[in-house]
Amino acid sequence: MSTSVGIQRQNRASPTPPPPPPPEGGVLLSIVVPCYNEAENIPLFYAKSCEVLKVLEGQGVSVEFVFIDDGSKDETAKVIQELSEKDERIRYAIFSRNFGKEAAMLAGLQAAKGDFTAMLDADLQHPPSLLPAMLEAVKNGEYDCAGTIRTRTGDSKIRTFFSRAFYRLISKLSNMEIIDGAGDFRLMSRQYVDAILSLSERNRFSKGIFQWIGFRTKWFYYENQQRASGDSKWSFWKLFIYSLDGIIAFSSKLLAIASAIGIILFILSICAVIFIVVRKLIFGDPIQGWASTICVILFCAGVQLLTTGVLGEYLAKTYNEVKRRPHFVIRKQK
Ligand code: UDP
Ligand code: MG
């Protein structure tokens, strides 16, 4: 049996020991934290979260932390393990390599045992101070998820422009309203988390998944925070690829657009044939039109390559899905 299959089975079959049971009548809140090269930020994040969570614990809420080390190249794994030795509320999974934030979030949600689960970045860009209000909104059952929307303060104008354009485009293409600035910082009910876990696709695009599963979400707004330390792992190019993956994961309209272009060009080509035949019959066959011929050939070749590319993208995604590889491989966990 291959390692990855074995581990995937473990992932599904509740690999981690159960967290401390909540006190009588209390609830368990899981804090899921995907980490990639966050060795410096984790202690800060942990200290800040503990400070906020102390208040909740005073009100009978038990807390567990689930740190996922997404194959970091720095001391992240070590820092997490050391913390977990000091604090028994901390569990973790360490990936065998970097599988990306989507995989890390999925691993965290699979491991979380809480009645409620919150997901936060390790770099303190997601303020833990919002957690009590978010829990309050979901705990009384009025909402299934407390989502957050960050302002774009401090973002460059060009990045804001492209982000807005992307959200407009994907909302149109997928027929779902994917909200600009709504991120992965959420506090979710058990039912909401189970719904997310029931979507087993490999090409995961959380912003779409949250929207697709539905439920009632209460929105909280917060000011854009700078990273506590280190740099964002998202370059402009990575974000572009991520956006394209998101569109392909949640819409097959690009294929329809490719077909529509094909049909329009076909109709145009019939018109051109009629025009050329009629001109030949009326004026004979003077040799001319080299430039226009080359333009038409280049244009059609370009469109063909583009549509083949679109087809290829969907085919590649389908190929990835049918291989049914696990989303991640865990090297060590507690
Ligand atoms: N992250 C991860 N795997 C990756 C990239 C990022 O687990 O491959 C984590 C990272 O450690 C952080 C969160 O995802 O906790 C958000 O990453 P980052 O701050 O780089 O993104 P941004 O805040 O710029 O969107
Ligand atoms: Mg960040």
CATH for 217: 3.90.550.10
Contact residues of ligand 1, CB 6 A cut-off: 34-36, 38, 70, 98, 100-101, 104, 121-123, 125, 232-234
- What pLDDT score does 167 carry? 86
Return the top range by mean pLDDT from 3-12, 76-85, 254-263, 267-276. 76-85
- For range 122-144, the mean pLDDT: 93
- What pLDDT score does 16 carry? 47
Q: In this structure, is residue 243 part of a structural domain?
A: no
Same domain, 287 and 179: no
Check whether 51 has a pLDDT greater than 70. yes
Task: Specify whether the CB–CB gap between 108 and 66 falls below 8 A.
Answer: yes
Phi first, then psi: what are they for 235, rounded to 5°? -85, 170
Same domain, 77 and 140: yes
Q: In this structure, is residue 246 part of a structural domain?
A: no
- For range 262-291, the mean pLDDT: 83
Which band of pLDDT confidence, cut at 50, 70 and 90, is reported for residue 1?
Answer: very low
- What pLDDT score does 25 carry? 58
Ligand having the closest approach to the CA of 184:
1
Return the top range by mean pLDDT from 112-116, 154-158, 206-210. 112-116
pTM, 2 dp: 0.81
Same domain, 167 and 76: yes
- What pLDDT score does 327 carry? 94
Q: In percent, how much of the chain has pLDDT > 70?
A: 92
Task: Pick the last residue of a domain from 237, 272, 293.
Answer: 237
Same domain, 53 and 157: yes
Q: In this structure, is residue 331 part of a structural domain?
A: no
Residue 130 DSSP class: G
Domain that holds residue 272: 253-323
- Residue 150's SS3 state is strand
Check whether 27 has a pLDDT greater than 70. yes
Between 256 and 186, the higher pLDDT residue: 186
Of the given ranges (28-37, 60-69, 238-247, 313-322), which has the lowest mean pLDDT?
238-247
Same domain, 95 and 10: yes
Residue nearest to atom 21 of ligand 1 (CA): 232
Q: In this structure, is residue 244 part of a structural domain?
A: no
Same domain, 151 and 100: yes
Check whether 238 has a pLDDT greater than 60. yes
Q: In this structure, is residue 229 part of a structural domain?
A: yes
33 Cα: distance to centroid of ligand 1 (angstroms): 10
> Which residue out of 123, 166, 185, 224 has the highest number of ligand 1 atoms within 8 Å of its CB and is therefore the one to mutate?
123
How many distinct structural domains can be found in the chain? 2
122 Cα: distance to centroid of ligand 1 (angstroms): 8
Which band of pLDDT confidence, cut at 50, 70 and 90, is reported for residue 32?
Answer: very high
Q: Which residues contact 7 (CB under 8 A, 6 or more apart)?
A: 326, 329, 330
- For range 206-210, the mean pLDDT: 91
Same domain, 166 and 26: yes
Same domain, 60 and 156: yes
- What pLDDT score does 110 carry? 96
- For range 23-39, the mean pLDDT: 88
316 Cα: distance to centroid of ligand 2 (angstroms): 29
